[in-house]
Chain A
Amino acid sequence: DIQMTQSPSSLSASVGDRVTITCRASQSLTYSLNWYQQKPGKAPNLLIYAASGLQSGVPSRFSGSGSGTDFTLTISSLQPEDFATYYCQQSYSPPWTFGHGTKVEIK
C-alpha cells in the first residue's frame, strides 16, 4: 500500500499569512494527488484534484503543486474561514490512502 506522510500535523497562523502544507508519498503518484478541507462536524470538501487542478467554486488563494512523490498545498493569504483540517489523498492505486491531516489553527 502507498503511505502518505503529511506535514506538519498542525500549525498556527494569522489571517493574511501564507501557509504551506506538504504531502509525501512512499512511491511515485505521477499527478494522482488530491487535497480536501474539513471543518469540524462537516464532511470533507474537495479543494485540489490531480495535484494542481482547482475545484470549481474554491477560492483562488488555494493552489496545489508537485508531482511524483512530493506535493504542496498553499494558501496564499489565510482567511478566517480557512481554519480547518486539510488532508491529502492518493488515487494512483487502490487502496486509496489519506494523509493524517494538518490542522490549521488561529495564532
Chain B
Amino acid sequence: EVQVLESGGGMVQPGGSLRLSCAAGAFTFSNHAMSWVRQAPGKGLEWVSAISGRGDSTYYADFVKGRFTISRDNSKSTVYLQMNSLRAEDTAVYYCAKCDRESLWSSGSWLDPWGQGTLVTVSS
C-alpha cells in the first residue's frame, strides 16, 4: 500500500528551527513530486511547498519563502522540510502528500495519499 509518514514535529520557540521528514513507501519515489500542506488548529488547509521528483524544481507559498526549504533524498525515499525563523503563526499540523506526477511544470497535479500529519507548535 502506498504510504507516506511524517515525523519531526514538536515544540519550538519563536525564531527557532525544526526539520520535518516524510518517509515514503510502496511506490517509485523519484517518479513523483512531493508536497507539504499545513493546517493551523481549527483552520483550513494551506499549501506550503512542493518539490519535483528529481529535486530540480521547488515551489513555496509566499508566507514561507526565504524561511523554509524543501529537499529530498531519493536514495532514502524521504522528503524534508527545513523550517527556520519560526513564528507563532507557523503552528500547525504539517501534512506530507504524494503528487501524481514527477514534474511540477505541468498543471493539474493532485495530492494522494496524505500522511497522518505531524504537529509543530511555536511558542515561548
Contacts and interface: CB of A to CB of B under 8 A. Distances in A.
A94 B114 CA distance: 19
A94 B61 CA distance: 8
A92 B108 contact: yes
Given A32-B107, A49-B100, A95 B47 contact: yes
A91 B60 contact: no
Contacts of B114: 43-45
A46 B44 contact: no
B110 interface: yes
A95 B62 contact: yes
Interface in B55-112: 59-62, 95, 100, 104, 107-112
Nearest to A90: B107
Contacts of B62: 1, 95
Contacts of A46: 110-113
Interface residues of A, number: 28
B20 interface: no
B50 A34 contact: no
Identify the interface centre among B59, B60, B100, B110: most chain A CB within 10 Å of its CB: B110
Contacts of B50: 94, 96
B59 A94 contact: yes
Contacts of B53: none
Contacts of A100: 44
15 contacts: A30-B107, A32-B107, A32-B109, A43-B117, A44-B37, A46-B112, A49-B100, A89-B45, A89-B110, A91-B108, A92-B108, A94-B59, A96-B109, A98-B37, A101-B45
Interface of A: 1, 29-32, 34, 36, 38, 43-46, 49-50, 55, 87, 89, 91-101
Which 3 residue pairs are nearest across A and B when measured between Cβ atoms?
A94-B59, A46-B112, A49-B110
